[in-house]
Structure 1
Amino acid sequence: MAHHDGHTIEVSDPGTVGQTAGSAASTALKAGLAGLVIAVILAAIGGGWQRFLFSYLHNLVFVVGIAIGALGFVLLQHLTRAGWSAVVRRFAEILTMLFVPCGVLFLFIIVLVLSGNDLLYIWNNTAVAENDVLVRHKMIYLNRTWFTIRAVAYFLFWIGCAWFYLKTSARQDASGDPKLSLKMERFAPVSLLLFGLSLTFAGIDWVMSLDPHWFSTIIGVYYFASCSVSFYAMLALMVYSANNKGLLTREITAEHRHDIGKLLFGFNCFWAYIAFSQYLLYWYANIPEETVWYMRRQENGWEVVSMILIVGHFVIPFLGLMSRTVKRNSKQLAGWAVYLLVMVWIDLYWLIMPEVSPESPVPSLIDFACLLGVGGLAVLGVLKLAGDYSLIARKDPRLPESLHFHNI
């Protein structure tokens, strides 16, 4: 619950994303290029091209997941006409710009699939499809043309939606027209419906189809939970970074951090619930195509990663983030945000990498080089695309409500 007091808060000018970032774009470019070059060199001298491709996909799915979580947040705030979040919503709108560089980076995977390469997706090998009954029956969905059309459709929708909400919100910064808020609200319901469908099928295409024998009716929700955790963690870090630089210190208060912390805590518990639900369904159904997928993650050292996720992704943050004090403390919340970003990365590693390295869960230098490469270029894209936008929606009609927000 919340209430709103009546005293006036003057909104400060935090400047634009570009002014705040400084030389970060140059650093991101160097880091991104260096990371991908190092990953390619490591693959060429013995790390293996298949490992490189899986690492590239893993880190791309991780980064685009932050953007998916951000877009879901933006749509939900407009759908519910939320007031508390107006002061931090621009951070989410900025993060949705990750879709553009991620879409460009995903073109490499599309070209790979269209060329007939099967190092990443074994179903792309026609011989496998002809000799495997289960795969053959799925080829109406798992084929290179349909895979490409779907991937392009996902990114076109995500990018279009992200641009619409950021551009419209920025127009309101100049005009203050409340009708623009109504316009964004009108598009939110159908956009949220398409958003849910798109992220579900993206999870099926990019993660589940790595093993064409495996099927999960819960993979879309699982991926959504991971995306939400990574987004709220990133939002907490952006708030901490802005406040640490002396920006928006009066506008973004412990009350807003408290709600961000509650959402981070809640969605992390939701992830645990979904992960356990999937395991429980597989356990009592005892279907070979499902249990084999889990067995691969319960042997050869992967069982250690499974335990790390149970304890590290749920038990520890459940106890650590439960306190109201932690959620309201800027540094402590930021620390937990970094921790949970690492856990989400490990979770996606556990989902994807056993398909290429079932004999060992030990990360390769290629994995970290790809993280640096994909992450660096994604950050560069955001800074270039959103560099001229303010860090706060200055004339949002719900901003006064957000500025006077208090938890009770």
Structure 2
Amino acid sequence: MKSHGKALAEDTKVLDKAVARRLVSRGMTLAIAGVVLSAVAAIVDRKRFAFSYLTGFTWIATIALGALFFVLIQHLTRARWSAAARRHMEWMSGVLPACAVLFLPIAVLAHDIYHHWMGPEAAHDALLRQKAAYLNPTFFYIRAVVYLAAWAGLSIWFIKTSRAQDESADMRPTAKMRASSAPAIIVFALTLSFASFDWLMSIDPHWYSTIFGVYVFSGAATSSLSALALITIALHKAGLLRNVSNIERQHDIGKLLFGFTIFWAYIAFSQYLLIWYANIPEETIFFRHRWEGSWKAVSLALLFGHFVVPFLVLLSRHAKRSPVVLGAASVLLLVMHYVDLYWLIMPNLDHHGAHLSWIDLAGLLGPLGVGAWVVSMQAAKSPLYPLNDPHLADAARIDNP
């Protein structure tokens, strides 16, 4: 333990100031460019931008939510290996307060996205009249405020308490986070599930899936672990965290990523199988729309890109320990997570085939730029790992290869 303590004392604790300024500057530049491009796209084609922006917003929000889940589950299980990884997930979960602002365009454009039940035609639809107590604009906005406030509150509180642990050898901040993680997990599960119903499933209010919330969660967990792997690889390449996050920790992240890749495929297949077996027209129409025209190619790309290829690549031990291979798989999974959300959302606009547009890129770059800016600021102003975490030495211990 003494040797580990000495090694930890010698490790770099914060980013170099010049590097930090450069990261924040690049993040700010991307954010400004994304916001400007989004504004232009909204003027050119309001309706398409509404759907494209929802896709981009959901992509960055689910990555941040997956990061928040990681923080909560590590405290809940009192995990010893993940001290450094937990700090990096805190950076990503710091995007959640910004999501409250990023949601504003969706609130403004909601009638373009959810026109089936927000528009006047809902009064002439018997099924929508039965759902009106839940699917109505006032309750929709109230629920959105609740979701966003809950996520922002959890993110801010856990980040603030974690920073308090950095500044004190008293273990009370860690004890508070552990005690709060169980109720926080319940809040997380309920808000994520209902937000996925409200913001994604209700685009087509005649379709439903009881497993949809779990499906969205599986994508959130997979994408956040992919981002974590890339951050870990980048820090290792820069010569940082040598004594805190070694190759064994990278291997652990790779194993988790491999496991959640399988979990996503399991949930996706379960959803498909139940709908196919029941053969109810209101349910099967969802997959029929995504098997028409060029959507068929997107569906196949999702199958191979989100499961088959990363499964085969990450199957070996060598791949999880290779920065190049794990990094490539992580980039692929992040891209396919966007494709997955695009596949969920855009067929409601392009019914007979995928039609890619620069407006889709604009809808992504706005949320992506803001998210990158927030993460860079979090990384610049906080230590690279929790300095006084009670299990930091355990996280730094090198396991037998």
TM class by shorter chain equals over 0.9
Residue-by-residue CA offset, 1:221-268 (whole Å, 9 max, x unaligned): 000000001000000011111111111123211110111001111101
Q: 2:386 aligns with which of 372, 393, 401?
A: 393
Does 2:97 correspond to 1:104? Answer: no
SS in 1 for 2:399: strand
**For residues 399 and 173 of structure 1, do their structure 2 counterparts lie closer, same or farther at Cα, with a shift above 3 Å needed?**
same
Q: State the distance in 1 between where 2:376 and 2:259 align.
A: 30
The alignment partner of 1:73 has SS state of: helix
Q: Is the 8 A contact 1:18 1:383 kept in 2?
A: no
Q: Supply the distance in 1 between the matched residues of 2:196 and 2:16 (Cα, whole angstroms).
A: 31
Alpha carbons of 1:261 and 1:7: their partners in 2 closer, same or farther (altered >3 Å)?
same
- 1:35 aligned onto 2:28: no
Using a 3 Å threshold, how does the CA distance of structure 1 residues 40 and 169 change in structure 2: closer, same or farther?
A: closer
Q: Distance in 2 between matches of 1:125 and 1:163?
A: 33
Q: Does 1:302 pair with 2:295? A: yes
Task: For structure 2, list consecutive stretches of 5 or more residues without a partner in the other structure.
Answer: none
Deviation of the 1:87 alpha carbon? 2.3
Structure 2 partner of 1:52? 49
One-letter code of the match for 1:311? Answer: F
Partner AA of 2:139 in structure 1: W
1:368 pairs with one of 338, 361, 364 = 361
- Tell me how far 1:155 sits from its aligned partner: 1.3
Equivalent residue pairs, number: 398
Amino acid at match of 1:352: I
The whole-number CA distance in structure 1 between the counterparts of 2:42 and 2:104 is: 20
Whichever residue aligns with residue 84 of structure 1, its letter is: W
Residue in structure 1 matching 2:210, options 211, 217, 237: 217
In the alignment, is residue 271 of structure 1 matched against residue 264 of structure 2? yes
Provide the C-alpha distance between the structure 2 equivalents of 1:63 and 1:164, rounded to a whole number of angstroms: 20
Identity rate, percent? 43
Deviation, structure 1 residue 345: 0.7
Give the aligned partner of residue 4 of structure 2. Answer: 8
Q: Deviations over 1:15-58 (max 9, x none)?
A: 1597643223232223223233334434544xx21110101000
Amino acid at match of 1:221: V
**1:81 counterpart residue number:** 78
Whether contact under 8 Å (2:59, 2:338) holds in the other structure is yes
Q: For residues 325 and 94 of structure 2, what CA distance do their matches in structure 1 show?
A: 27
* Counterpart residue identity of residue 107, structure 2: I
What is the CA–CA distance in structure 2 between the aligned matches of 1:311 and 1:407, rounded to whole Å?
Answer: 34
- Aligned match for 2:128, one of 129, 135, 140: 135
Structure 2 length-normalised TM: 0.95
Instruction: Please give the TM-score of this superposition, normalised by the length of structure 1.
Output: 0.93
| Local SS of the residue matching 2:55 | helix
Aligned-partner SS, 2:51: helix
Secondary structure of 1:406's counterpart equals coil
Amino acid at match of 2:94: M
State the match for 2:23 in structure 1. 24
Which of residues 62, 66, 70 in structure 1 aligns to 2:67?
A: 70
1:42–1:80 distance in 2 versus 1, CA, 3 Å? closer
1:94 to 91, 94, 100: 91
Partner Cα distance (2:13, 2:323) in 1: 18
Is the 8 Å Cα contact of residues 70 and 96 (structure 1) preserved in structure 2? yes
Instruction: Return the offset for 1:308.
Output: 0.8
The corresponding residue for 2:197 is 204
Q: Does the CA-based 8 Å contact 1:19-1:387 persist in structure 2?
A: no
CA distance in 2, matches of 1:131, 1:405: 66
Deviation at 1:377, TM superposition (A): 1.4
Letter in structure 2 aligned against 1:232: L
- C-alpha contact (below 8 Å) 1:261/1:327 kept by paired residues: yes
Equivalent residue, structure 1, for 2:254: 261
> 2:2 and 2:59 mapped to 1: Cα distance?
42
